[in-house]
Structures are given as C-alpha cells and as structure tokens.
Amino acid sequence: QVQLVESGGGLVQPGGSLRLSCAASGSIFRIGNMGWYRQAPGRQRELVVVITSDGSTNYADSVKGRFTISRDNAKNTVYLQMNSLKPEDTAVYYCNADVKYTWYSSTNEHWGQGTQVTVSS
C-alpha cells in the first residue's frame, strides 16, 4: 500500500503565499513523475505542474512564474511553493505520483486526499 499525505493548505489573502507538501509512504521502490492538480467547485480537475524524477518540470500557463515545484527523492516528498496567489487559485489541490512497488512491477498512479487552498480577502 502507498499513501500520499498532503499538508500546507489554508486561507490566504490575494498576493500571499503558501507552501504545500506531499509525502509518499509505503511499499515504494521508485517514484517517477510527481505532480499537483487542482479542482475548483464546478470545474474539472486540472494539471498545475508535474516534475519528473530527474527534475524536469511542466507548468500550467496560469501558474508560470508564480508557482514552483520541487522534490526530495530521498524523502519521497514533493513541494509546491505558491506565490502571488489570486482568488482564481482557490481549489482543492491534489498530489499525484507514479509509483513502482518493486523493480519488476508496473507503474501505479496514486493520489492524495486533497488539501483546500482558499485565496480571499
């Protein structure tokens, strides 16, 4: 079993910052891509940013220059630093990871439970 546990969400004023963390634990041989997605009320879940195991990144246009993803492979943890937050960033943010349980297993996609980010004055 693999668990992704997110933390760091909350209420912040426009222009403020938050840092999200997501730690993976359990039967992990290797983690490939890790990423953050978000879902606002009444909208589909959308990609925010993904980071590969070697550090390559792909950001949604809406967050480029404001959000920064990083990962600590030794801790199986991914972070999302969010700066210059806007009301339209309000959503539940989900962590995602592609996990191999053993060297010979296929890659399995896992999701965190989500953490609420609210940007409001």
Model confidence pLDDT, tens digit, residues 78-119:
999 999 999 999 999 999 999 999 999 899 999 999 999 999
C-alpha separations of 57 from 10, 71, 108 in Å: 25, 11, 20
Q: From CA 81, how far away is CA 70, in angstroms rounded? A: 8
pLDDT averaged over every residue in the chain: 96
Q: From CA 121, how far away is CA 15, in angstroms rounded? A: 10
Q: How confident is the model at residue 1 (pLDDT cuts 50, 70, 90)?
A: confident
Q: How confident is the model at residue 30 (pLDDT cuts 50, 70, 90)?
A: very high
Report the DSSP beta bridge partners of residue 59.
49
Q: Which two tokens stand for residue 25?
A: 């634990």
What are the phi and psi torsion angles at 15 (to 5°)?
A: 90, -10
The beta-strand segments (E) located in the chain are 2-7, 10-12, 18-26, 30-39, 46-51, 57-59, 67-72, 77-82, 91-100, 107-111, 115-119
